[in-house]
Structures are given as structure tokens and as C-alpha cells.
Amino acid sequence: MPETPVLLENVTKRYGAFTAVDDLSFSVAKGEIYGFLGPNGAGKTTTLRMMLDIVQPTAGRLSILGSSSAISVRRRIGYLPEERGLYRKMKAADSIAYFAQLRGLSSRDAKKKANELLECFGLAAFARSKNEALSKGMAQKVQLLATIAHEPELLILDEPFSGLDPINQKTLEDLIAEQRAGGCTIIFSTHVMQHAERLCDRFLIIAKGKKRFEGTLSEARAGFGRRLHVRSAAPAAAFASLAGVVSVHAVRNGGNEAEYDIELADGADPQAFLRQAVAAGIAMTRYEQAGATLHDIFVTVAGDEAAKSAPPPPSSRPRAQAAE
Amino acid sequence: MKQILLIAWREYKQYVFSRGFLIFLVMFPVSLIGLTAAMGLVERTKPARAFVVYDQTGQYTDDIDREIERRRLLSAIAGWDGYVAAAARPDADVKTALAAPFAPAAVNDARARAFMEAGGFDAAQAAAAPYLKPGVPTYVMPRAQFERVPPPAGDIASLAGAEALLRPYLLGERRIARADGSAAPLFAAVLIPSGFGAGEGAEAAQYWSRNLTDVALEDLIGDALDGALQREAVAALGLTREALDDVAAISAPFEAYRPDRAAEEAQLGFADRVETLMPAALTYMLLVIIFGVGNLLLTNTIEERSNKIVEILLSSVTAGQLMAGKLIGIAAVGLTMPAIFLVGGLAASVAASGDQNFAGVAISALFSSPLLLIYLFYFFCAYAIFAMIFLAIGAVSNSLQDAQSYMGPVMILVFAPLPFMIMVFQNPNGFIASLLTWIPIYTPYAVMMRAAADPPMWEIVGATALMLAFAIVLMRFMGRIFRNAILQSSPPKAAEVWRLARRDGV
């Protein structure tokens, strides 16, 4: 596998007057888990389809596993589209084997691999069941297994977590980690930030077809204001009066004390904040520095449509607002 | 290519190995045999239909009785032929081993007369006995279909009186007495007035029955009276009844020849008949297949589209490979059923005729024809043209309901040439034949129908070139519609389809 399995240079896709993807460039390194983030309609699926040569770009250059078209290397690629299904009348094992055969495995190897995977994922008893008889969760597992049965070098997953229950989400996370451990390069699109935060080495944020950010989570955080979590009996106004403080949100009130989420201005020093607080006689029973969440970064970078499409993380922010 | 065949095989398996198809395979011969057996049983157990003849002339009743008996005898001899063919030992060739009137052969009055003169069915059974399988039951003659019973007692001096008397019987209100004393419904009444005859102004004989669909007795009476009047006319010329029968039994030796063959091969035979009928049979088969697989292609593409399988497929194969695989697989499904009908039909005709050689002759006639390859070429061209249209319709539809709006016009296109095909068949080089040949979607039909009639070569070559060019353009357009529409989440509107057809890449 080349060191840069995926490379896009100035790729544009237009449908008539509408530009779905606008001058997009990025690259994915070998063995990397690469997150492809963006609100609905940002151009994620179109980009993934262009990478797979299902859709041709209007302009720009692509290189997939060293080839200018994914068609010639599609046997080395596994693809799970956002909208996916199975033949209702086909048996589970046959479905996995059929797609593996289409991607180059021999009939014998494909059947063997299908049964092994079903066994491994606890579905051995359903190998001869028709897909229409499977539960939704089981069918989703079968779709996933059909994507990896031919042992791809590059795995492209479009919104793989959508529609999965928490148990299957965990199964998928484990599977992605396992595939990466086996040397596979993985690209997945999502608008659920927790998965991206947990899994991705690097990620790209796209909105309205344009690249808004590419890099690691640390790099993203570096460009955002610092955040502090403190617990104190002092009122919120006491913290708000300190230099470098942009906002103070009471997260939780309990007894005499309250928990505050404090946002500092860009470039403000948290140590200077601490010194000011001590000098002002504000007693704190907790002081913790925190970075911006990916959700914050995503909403800020991708704009208004991102705020509508990305589900908020189950962390402090909404509760803080509720408490206010 | 491997991917195309894989897709084709999956499509084929999905339909041919389905429970419904396998049930059909079993049900088809079973129901055929069951139906034949049931019809035979009904025919054997059906009581003879009673009818009365009121003949004011007193001359024609015997003629009617004789016609009934004649027909019964002919039908009994045909039944005998079937019995001997089915009951004979496999190693016995009863056609040659049995003596002439008893061996299976054409059934006609001369043979019937010889049959009865040679001793009838008892003698036939004795003659056939050495060649029959051990333990087979003896032949039982079919029951009489009709029984003439005496008119009921009453005033039948006039036709009007007879009509009034018979009406309650004909309407089922009363039952008439049979010869054996039992009562039966009256099926029909024949009233022959005193003025009945062949001359101008003669009165007509009347046939009364409530059953207007079963015309067997009506035909029989008509034939019996025709024969009676013809015999009267012949007698007036000084000839006997037997002389007329002998004259009627004369069959002219008649042979057909074709001028495009050398003298010794010019006589038309069974193989020529098969070759002549082949284009009509293939055209019919083509229509059946297009009609049958059109729905399969539609439902199948709609399933892949609505089940969201198509995007996974398109990440593994190109749109062209997907289309080719589907076309091949579904064509094979379409051909499986006629192939089963063909094999089943040949087997059934062998069983029915007892002629082991029949299938061999038919198959060799079919495969030795130099036109077979030409027929197959045009057959697949026509299939490809229409199948592409169906695939494209499937690609722009999320449900069968969506597809309906496109299917109507397409079906009209498919079946439009049917009324003209008989004209092409009868006059293969006429104006209609030429016209249809030059319309690309009908070129295959027309050329298949004309191929055996030596149409002008320039016309066939030109029209075929036009058809191929049309097919290539159509495939490009339909292929684009398929590729461009199949991934759209909502089906395009009819007006957008043209835009999709012109756009090269998605």
C-alpha cells in the first residue's frame, strides 16, 4: 500500500449550477483513521463517491491506493454506504460471500470467510437465515461483515454509526480499531462527534462543499479559547470581573457551592487567572483546565448548519445552559 | 467478466430457484396430466345426451342415427390407436407389426369400414394381444355421446304442436323417458317439416336446445341432413349411396415443392414446416419473454434501488457491468420457461403420438436450419433493446407505481407490430414488411419473419445497420439514465429523464 493511500487535489463536483464539492484537497496516511465531518448536505457522501469512482469529479485529481481510479483497485477497498441494504430473500452467509466474491474472493474462500465472520460476531446460528428474517441490528452487522470480508486495505465508511443502537455502535468501534490494528486505513464520515473524538487520528471538517479544517484534535483545540472548570462558593460575577474571562456559566448548584464553566479569551493565561482569583480572595475547591470539545470546534468551524445537524454531546454545556 | 457472470448467476438463482418457480415446475406437468385425466374421466362418465327427432317426412331419422354411429366408430378407432400406442411393449413396433386396419394410422371412413369388416374391436384386441404389455386391461369403447329417444306422447301432428309439447322438456321442467325406461333431461329436439329438402323454397329443419355453447350435436345433425340430401341428389343421377361414400372418400395425392431447391430436395417436408414456423414461434416467444422479464427487470432494479443495495454494488462493479449482469441473468430466466415448455411439449407430443422419432425430427429440423443463427441474432438484439428500456425505467422508479407511468407507452411499443405480423408472415416482401424492417425497434421481428423468404439483401443489411446504430445510441442513453438515476434518493420527474440521458458522468 502506498504511504498516502488517499490523495485529493483541488477536487470539485458540480451538478448544473450547484457546487456540491468545491476545490477540496486532503490526504490520508497509511494506517490512519481519518474522520470526515460535516453537517448534512456538506458534500461528504459526494466526496466519498468520487473517491470510489461511483461519481466522476468535475475538476481536480484523485489518487486512491496509488491509482487514479478506484475501479482498478476496488478489490482492495471496502465500502459501507450511508444508505445500505441487503437482498431480502438472500441468506446472511450468502450475502457476505456474494459481496466478497464481487470484490475478488473465490467462491470457496468467500463462503469460508462469511461463516468465520458470522461465527466471530455471534451470528453463526443465523448463517442460513434469510435477511428478511434478521433483526435490524443483525442485518446491520451482516452489512458490516460484507464490507470487510475480502480484507480490504482501505475501508471507507459513510455514516457507519447512523441507525445503530449503542451495543452495535460499540461493536463497530471495536471493529474499526481491530481493522486498523490489522494495518487497514480507515476513512469514515460522521456528524456524531464523540465517535470521531474517540477514534480519529486526524479529521477533516467540510461545510457547503468546502474544507474548513484538517488536522488532529490537539491542533484544532490550539486554535480555540481555553476553558476552565471550577467549584466555588463565590458568585459568578466574582469570576466575570477577572481579566481575560469571556464568559462564566453556572453548571450546577449544590449546597453552598456552585460549579462554573469559564471561557478565557484567546491567548489568556490560565495561571494568570488563578493568580488573580487568589489575589481577589476567591476560594476554589476545584480548578481544572479543559480544551474545546470537538463539538464546539465543529459548530464554530462548520457554521450554523452544523449546529442544527450535529447532536450535542452529553457533556456539561447543555446542562450549564439549563441551570442558568 | 467474472463479476458480470456473478451478477447474472445471482439474478438467475433468485428467480429460478425460488419456491414459486419450483412449485410452477412441478405444478405445470401435474396440472396438465390432471386436466387431461379429468377431461377423459368426464368424457367417459358423461351420460349420453338425449334428443328427439320429430320428422314429418319420415325419411331422415335413420340418416341421423347412422351419422351418430359413424362418428362414434371413428372416435372409437382413434381411441384404439392411442390405447395400442400406450399399451404396447417398448420393444414392439405396433405400427408395422399389426395388420392394416388395426395398426395405428389415419382415421377415416375407409379404415372404419375395413376395421369392422375385419372383425371389429374383439378381433383387433386379439391381433394386438401378443404386442401388449402383460396385464394391461382390454380396450373399452367410449360411450355414445348422444342418444336419440322417442318423442313424448301427445299431439305432434303439427310442428307448432310438437314445439309446444317439447318446450317443457327442453326447459328442464320435465324429463324424457329413455329406451331403458330411465328419465333424462332433454338436451335438444330436431323438427323436420314435411317441406324439408334441397330445392329452392324448401322448408328448413329446426334445431332446438337451451345449450348454445355445445354445438357438437347441432353439427352432427347438420352433417347428417347434408349427407342425406346429397345422397338423394346422387340417387336422382342413378348412383347408389355406396358410390357417393366412395366418391367422398377420395383424397387427391398432393405435394408441395419449393423452387429454390434442387429437384430431389424440393419437396416440402416436416423440416421445412418447422423452419417456416420458427420465426413465428420465436417472435411469439420474444414477446412472451419481453413481457415476462420486463416485470422481473423492473421489480429487481426497483428492489436494489429502494433497498439501497445498488451503491454497495456500484462500489464493487461498474454500472455497465451491473447492467450487463442483470440483462444476461434475467434473459436466462426468461429463456428457462420457454425451454421447459419446448422440452415438455416435445415429450408430450412423443407420448401422445407414440412416435419416438418425432422429437428427433423436430430438433434436427430446428438445429440444421441455416437460419437459426440469424434468428438468434435478431432475437437477442430485440431482447437487448427492450430490456435496456425496462432497466432504465427501474432505475428512475422507487416503486412499481412510479414505473407504471412509463410502462404503458413501452408496452404499446412492444405489442404495436403484432397486428401487422400476420401480414408480414403471409407477404414477407410486401410494403408492410419493408416498412417494419426499417423501423429499428421492429427490425428484429420483421427480419425474423422475412428471413426464409429471401428478402432483398441491401434492405436487410441497411435496416440491420440502422438497428445496430439505434441500439448503440439507445444503450448509451439508457445506460446514462441508469447510472445517473440509480443513486438518486428520489426518482427523477419524467421531464428530468431526458436531462439524465444526455449527461455523461454523474
- Contact call for A102 and B308, based on CB within 8 A: no
In the block, which residue shows the cell 430457484?
B17
**pLDDT tens per residue across span B438-474:** 998 888 888 888 877 778 889 989 999 999 999 888 8
Residue A77 and residue B313: Cβ atoms within 8 Å? no
Average pLDDT, chain A: 83
Q: Per-residue pLDDT tens for B177-229?
A: 888 888 889 999 999 998 898 888 889 999 999 888 888 899 999 999 998 99
Query: How many domains is chain A partitioned into structurally?
Result: 2
CA distance A116 to A133: 20
The model's confidence at residue A303, banded by pLDDT at 50, 70 and 90, is low
CATH of the domain at A313: 3.30.70.260
Q: Do A206 and A239 lie in a common domain?
A: no
- Cβ atoms of residues A194 and A180 within 8 Å: no
Whether B356 and B441 map to the same domain: the answer is yes
Residue A1, min C-alpha distance to chain B (Å):
19
Same domain, A262 and A183: no
Verify that B323 and B193 share a domain, yes or no: no
Partners of A55 on chain B (C-beta within 8 Å) are: 487, 505-506
d(CA A117, CA A95): 12
| The pLDDT of residue B324 is above 60 | yes
Q: Is there a single domain that holds both residue A53 and residue A181?
A: yes
- Report the residue of chain A nearest B484, measured CA to CA: A55
- How far apart CA B483 and CA B494 sit, in angstroms, is 16
Residue B404 covered by a domain: yes
As a whole number, mean pLDDT of residues B373-388 equals: 81
Pairing mode of beta strands B49-55, B146-148:
parallel
One domain for residues B228 and B278 = no
Q: Give residue B192's pLDDT.
A: 92
From chain B, which residues contact A within 8 Å (Cβ)?
3, 6-7, 10, 14, 18, 303, 307-309, 311-318, 487, 489, 505-506
**Residue A1 covered by a domain:** no
Fill in the DSSP letter of residue B453: G
Q: Helices marked H in B88-173 — which ranges?
A: 94-97, 109-117, 120-128, 159-170
Q: Are residues B283 and B426 in the same domain?
A: yes
Give yes or no for a contact between B166 and B151, defined as CB atoms under 8 angstroms apart.
Answer: yes
User: Minimum mean pLDDT among B96-110, B145-159, B371-385, B455-469: which range?
Assistant: B371-385
| CATH code at position A136 | 3.40.50.300
C-alpha cell at A38: 460535516
Q: Which residues pair with A189 in a beta bridge?
A: A36, A158
Same domain, B227 and B324: no
Question: Of the residues A170, A194, A220, which one is the last residue of a structural domain?
Answer: A220
Contacts of A91 in chain B (CB under 8 A): none
Asked if residue A94 and residue A53 are part of one domain, the reply reads: yes
Q: Are residues B287 and B226 in the same domain?
A: no
**Test mutation, A83, A157, A187, chain B, max B CBs within 10 A:** A83
The answer to whether residue B371 scores a pLDDT higher than 80 is no
Q: Where are the alpha helices (DSSP H) in chain A?
A: 44-51, 92-102, 107-120, 136-148, 166-181, 193-199, 217-222, 236-240, 270-279, 294-302, 304-309, 316-323
Q: Is B409 exposed, middle or buried (0-12, 13-18, 19+ CB in 10 A)?
A: exposed
Instruction: Mark yes or no for CB contact B505/A54 under 8 Å.
Output: no
Please, are residues A46 and A20 in contact by the beta-carbon 8 Å criterion? Answer: yes
A212 plus A285 within the same structural domain? no
What total of structural domains would you count in chain B?
2
Identify the DSSP state of A190: E
Q: Among A131-140, B22-31, B162-171, B254-263, name the most confident range.
A: B162-171
- Would you call A102 and B14 a contact, using CB atoms and an 8 Å cutoff? no
- pLDDT for B60 equals 92
| pLDDT score of A221 more than 70 | yes
Domain boundary among A220, A251, A276: A220
**H or E stretch at A262:** strand A257-264
Q: Residues 6 or more apart from A218 whose CB is under 8 A from it?
A: none
Residues A272 and A140 in one domain: no
**Same domain for A168 and A266:** no
Q: Of A231-235, B31-35, B357-361, B409-413, which range is least confident? A: B357-361
**Average pLDDT taken over every residue of chain B:** 82
**Of B316, B322, B483, B504, which to mutate for an interface test with A (greatest number of A Cβ within 10 Å)?**
B316
Q: Are residues B311 and B227 in the same domain?
A: no
**Which pLDDT score, from 0 to 100, does residue A94 have?**
93
The C-alpha atoms of residue B154 and residue B189 are separated, in whole angstroms, by 15
Question: Cα-Cα-Cα-Cα dihedral of A263, A269, A275, A278, to 10°?
Answer: 10
Instruction: Say which range, A34-43, A52-61, B81-90, B364-373, has the weakest mean pLDDT.
Output: B364-373
User: pTM (2 decimals)?
Assistant: 0.67
Pairing of strands B49-55, B186-192: parallel
Instruction: For CA atoms B51, B56, B62, B63, give the dihedral sign.
Output: negative
pLDDT tens-digit profile of B245-265? 778 777 777 877 877 777 677
| A183 domain residue, yes or no | yes
pLDDT at residue number B348: 67
CB A207 within 8 A of CB A303: yes
- Give the number of other Cβ atoms within 10 Å of residue B454's Cβ: 11
Check whether residue B194 and residue B73 sit in a common domain.
Answer: yes
Q: Residues A135, A233: one domain? A: no
Q: What three-state secondary structure class fits B55?
A: strand
| Residue A122 belongs to a domain | yes
Tens digit of each residue's pLDDT (9 = 90 or more) over B49-66: 899 999 989 889 999 999
> Among A102, A109, A142, A143, which would you mutate to test the B interface (most chain B Cβ atoms within 10 Å of its Cβ)?
A102
Do A121 and A245 share a structural domain?
no
Structure confidence by residue, pLDDT tens digits, A124-164: 888 888 888 888 888 888 888 999 898 899 999 888 888 77
If pLDDT is split at 50, 70 and 90, which confidence band does B36 have? confident
Distance from CA of A69 to the nearest CA of B (A): 12
Host domain of residue A97: 6-220
**Given CA atoms B362, B364, B369, B375 in this order, what sign does their dihedral have?**
positive
Q: How far apart are CA B288 and CA B386, in angstroms?
A: 12
Instruction: Kindly state the average pLDDT of the residues A304-312.
Output: 54
Mean pLDDT of A31-60: 88
pLDDT band at residue B9 under the 50/70/90 scheme: very high
- pLDDT grade for A317, boundaries at 50, 70 and 90: very low
Q: State whether A171 and A313 are in the same domain.
A: no
Do the bridges between strand A257-264 and strand B183-184 make them parallel or antiparallel, or are there none, so unpaired?
Answer: unpaired
The closest of B55, B62, B53 to B224, measured between CA atoms, is: B62
Q: Is the pLDDT of residue A181 over 80?
A: yes
Residue ending a domain, choose from A172, A196, A220 = A220
Structural domain span for residue B348: 269-502
Higher pLDDT, A310 or A104: A104
Q: Band the pLDDT of A324: cuts 50, 70, 90.
A: very low
- What span, in angstroms and rounded, lies between the C-alpha atoms of B25 and B31? 10
User: How many helices and strands, by DSSP H and E, does chain A display?
Assistant: 12, 13
Reported residue count of chain A is 324
Please check whether residues B336 and B454 belong to one and the same domain. Answer: yes
Residue B176 and residue B93 share a domain: yes
Q: Are residues B506 and A56, on separate chains, in Cβ contact within 8 Å?
A: yes
pLDDT band at A223 (very low <50, low <70, confident <90, very high): low
Q: Are residues A122 and A82 in the same domain?
A: yes
Distances (CA, A) of B309 to A95, A130, B143: 11, 16, 63
Residues B189 and B329 in one domain: no
Per DSSP, B47 falls in state: P
Same domain (yes/no): A52, A188: yes
Phi-psi region of A122 (alpha: psi -120 to 50; beta: other; left: phi over 0): left
In chain A, how long is the greatest CA-to-CA distance? 76
Query: For strand A210-215 and strand A227-232, is the pairing parallel, antiparallel, or unpaired?
Result: unpaired
B115 lies in the same domain as B224: yes
Residue B418 lies in a domain: yes
Instruction: Report yes or no on B264 lying in a domain.
Output: no
Over residues B315-329, the mean pLDDT reads 85
Helices and strands (H, E) in chain B, number of each type: 20, 6
Whether residue B14 and residue A89 make contact (CB cut-off 8 A), yes or no, is yes
Is residue B12 assigned to a domain? no
Largest distance between two CA atoms of chain B: 93
Question: What is the complex's ipTM, to 2 decimals?
Answer: 0.74
**Rounded alpha-carbon distances, angstroms, from residue B373 to A112, B185, B272, B278, B380:** 42, 60, 16, 12, 11
CB-nearest partner of A54 from B10, B311, B489: B311
